[in-house]
Copies of this chain bind each other. A is one copy, B any other.
Amino acid sequence: MERHFDEELKLLKQKLLVTADTAQEMIGLAVKSLVDRKEEPAKQVFTLEEKVNRLEIEIENEVLRLIARHQPAAGDLRLLTATLKINNDLERVADQTCNISETALYLLKEPPMKVIADIAHMASLAQKMIRDSIEAFVRHDSALAQKVCADDDQVDKSRDKMFSELLAAMIKDPSLITRGVELILVGRNIERTADHATNIGEEVIFIEQGKNIKHHIQEEDREA
């Protein structure tokens, strides 16, 4: 039975990886729609959101079923409830990408703006943070999780830069105000996706530290 539980846990993690892959793909598509001024990627985001919503419910039910059926010990239980939280974070990343896609579709009807290039950079940082945070979770890699939390500063810096550039552009040319505000909100959306990756990273650190404190000696034995 122990082995069976491990296999089910592995399948669950794979499902979480699929959700994470989809969520970070959605960030890319939403921003592509904005940068390339095309409808198609934004529409793909809305389709993928349904997939993420389905996966979220599947993962949640699976976690509850595993807890109820196997009544896991403290460490595995912590892992399963962390899965619930991470699952939730990923679903909210998907939500944010829908907001970006809606803005992209709206901005398609307006003349293009220059500052959009920075958004692409910020988005690629956020995508990497999502990938790294899930990898940190799956591989129990708290060093990588620490890196994710540190990377968040870069996203914040990128957002601040974009923010002040947009403000300056708007002050110089008030006809840019509406579009400028929309782009500031997109910047905020991307920042939120990075925040969710940071939440996941902190969760990983919390689990691994908890493990280290609780089972310090056993862990060392196992690693030796």
Contacts and interface: CB of A to CB of B under 8 A. Distances in A.
Contacts of A88: 85, 88
A211 B84 CA distance: 19
Interface string A13-33: 000000000000000000000
Chain copies in the assembled complex: 2
A81 B63 contact: yes
Nearest to A65: B221
Contacts of A85: 84-85, 88
Interface string A40-80: 00000000000000000000110111011001011001100
Interface residues of A, number: 28
A221 B177 CA distance: 54
Nearest to A185: B188
A85 B91 CA distance: 13
A74 B170 CA distance: 55
A185 B182 CA distance: 11
Given A71-B71, A81-B81, A217 B61 contact: yes
Interface in A165-218: 167, 170-171, 174, 177-178, 181, 184-185, 188, 217
Given A84-B84, A185-B188, 9 more contacts: A60-B81, A64-B78, A64-B81, A68-B74, A81-B84, A84-B85, A85-B88, A170-B177, A170-B181
- Ranked nearest first, the 9 interchain pairs of A and B with the lowest CB-CB distance are A71-B71, A174-B174, A170-B177, A171-B177, A171-B174, A68-B74, A68-B77, A81-B84, A64-B77
